Amino acid sequence: MILFTVAVKSWTLNISKNILTRRDKLKNYKRSLLCLAGITGLVLNASAAVAATSGSHYPLGGEGVAAGSPPPPGLHYRMYNTWYNADTLTDNNGDDVGLDFDLSAYAQIHRFVHITEKKIWGANWGYNVLIPMVSKDISIDPIGVDDNTSFALGDVILEPLALFWYRERYDAILTLALIAPTGDYDFSDAASPGLGYWSGMLTAGGTYYLDTEKSWTISALTRTLVHTEQDDTHVRPGAEFTIEGGIGKQFMVDNQWLVRPGINYCATWQISDDSQDGPGTIADERKEAYGVGAELNMLYLPWLLQGNLRYVHEFGAKNTAEGSSFVFTLTKSF
């Protein structure tokens, strides 16, 4: 999911003909100035705004239709490219707070995966690492926010335990990951590439094949994230739960090309309160958002090379930004 923070100043805002202190204004807007759509296959921490705590180390809809499908044993490299845009911030009722807000973010994540032949509980054991490079540009005119970051290192994901089950009619995934605050974080810089805290992430899900040829697929992948205290603000963000997946149909175009169009879905909920109120946030006001879209996956068999183009439209957001994203992934298997 994507985050930004801004120091609280003493000057005031004139909103709807009412003079409010910035502290009161921030309390009204609270966490809607929180997470946007981060990504890194899991990380795009490019967030929205005037919030004490960061949003999420995991993006809304980071994987798409085949979210529950693990790659086969071997070595794999995947590059995620995500373009995210949002111009709406929402409050606790899901209403637009009415700020002149604009966020543009790009993340390029490099993922290195090794799935071994070693068995644990009947599953193939694997491990992987994700290294994000992030660019962000955010502006909120009424409160003087205008920050940007150009292609800086974000927070790295280390996944030492990944278990994959391959069965005749389904695949299953169970993993544990640690997300390290390797990206620079500054409370006064809304475009900080890092989020300023550690996260632990549990992933579980799978894909079910609706026919014996495995051409029709339906998938669901869940992620549960817990966080440590954030640098500078001393607020521990609440835990999060996400689900994503989709339904797709695979076609053999010829003996070289496999094509899979599909419909994707995603949703995220904050499932526990922040540890305390922060500058611009209220601890018990939780964020949530939903998304739906379409994608096209193409696999060139002779090169074991595949590309995936996906669009996600967000809706129903509360206490966060609402926008849309385009994702292009390129995967090479060895």
Q: What is the secondary structure of 149-182 as a DSSP string?
A: EEEEE--EEEEEEEEEEE-SSEEEEEEEEEEE--
Token couple for 324: 């849309």
Q: CA 274, CA 270: separation in Å to the nearest integer?
A: 9
Domains in the chain: boundaries? 12-333
Residue 209 near residue 17 (C-beta atoms within 8 A): no
Cα-to-chain-centroid distance, residue 241? 11
Q: What is the pLDDT of residue 101?
A: 84
Token couple for 67: 């979210």
Residue 38 near residue 1 (C-beta atoms within 8 A): yes
Q: What is the pLDDT of residue 225?
A: 95
Say yes or no to pLDDT of 53 above 60.
no
| 197-248 pLDDT, tens digit each | 999 999 999 999 999 999 999 999 999 999 998 888 888 888 999 999 999 9
Q: What average pLDDT does range 23-31 have in this prediction?
A: 39
Rg of the chain taking only CA atoms, in angstroms:
20
Q: What is the pLDDT of residue 280?
A: 59
Ranges 52-66, 127-141, 190-204: which has the least confidence: 52-66
Closest residue by Cα to residue 190 from 280, 77, 275, 272: 280
Say yes or no to pLDDT of 62 above 50.
yes
Residue found under tokens 């335990």 = 161
Name 218's bridge partners. Answer: 208, 247
Q: What is the pLDDT of residue 284?
A: 73
| 156-201 pLDDT, tens digit each | 999 999 999 999 999 999 999 999 999 888 877 777 888 889 999 9
- pLDDT, averaged across the chain: 81
Q: What is the pLDDT of residue 277?
A: 62
Closest residue by Cα to residue 157 from 129, 183, 133: 129
CATH number of 12-333: 2.40.128.130
Q: In this prediction, what percent of the chain has a pLDDT beyond 90?
A: 54
Confidence band, pLDDT 50/70/90 cuts, at residue 56: confident
Closest residue by Cα to residue 111 from 177, 34, 27: 177
Token couple for 42: 């899991």
